[in-house]
Amino acid sequence: MGNREVIVKYSPGLDALYIWFVPKQKSKIVPQDAGYFFVYQSQDELKEVRGYEWLDFSYFVDEDGTVDMPIPEPRSLFNVQGTDLKGATLKEVVFWAYQKFVRKDQKHQLYQRGINSD
């Protein structure tokens, strides 16, 4: 199976991470048992996975790459659209998103308050 192209977005106000498969298609969101993790499924009878959503995202990822939240382990590898990240596992995409969106935002907030985070 070839690599799947994905769009990765982060909403800092909601602290939500979204990963959608390309091309984006109309999907329904299906809550999983944790209550903060959702799967986007196609609306046809195949119920093909079309993406993922995590609420309270920054709470579940640590600086060392530890991810304490449910992450499916699909057989596919992923290419993040508009980036050099290619052939990554879903867990690698999630940690990349943490470094790009959350860690960057935390450093910016510390800088704004005059605190050196390094």
Question: Confidence class of residue 47 from pLDDT cuts 50, 70 and 90?
Answer: confident
33, burial (CB in 10 Å: exposed 0-12, middle 13-18, buried 19+) = exposed
Q: Is the pLDDT of residue 66 over 50?
A: yes
Q: List 31's β-bridge partners, or say none.
A: 38
Residue 97 structure tokens: 């998103």
- Asked whether the whole model's pTM tops 0.85, one would answer no
Phi, psi of 82 (to 5 degrees): 80, 10
- The verdict on whether omega for the bond into residue 23 sits within 30 degrees of 0, i.e. cis, is yes
Query: Can you give the residue ranges of every domain in the chain?
Result: 4-112
pLDDT band at 93 (very low <50, low <70, confident <90, very high): very high
What pLDDT sits at residue 87?
97
Q: How confident is the model at residue 118 (pLDDT cuts 50, 70, 90)?
A: very low
* Stretch 93-103: mean pLDDT: 91
Average pLDDT along the chain: 85
State residue 33's pLDDT score: 72
Task: With beta carbons less than 8 A apart as the criterion, state whether 20 and 29 touch.
Answer: no
pLDDT in tens, 6-38: 999 999 999 999 999 999 888 999 998 777 899
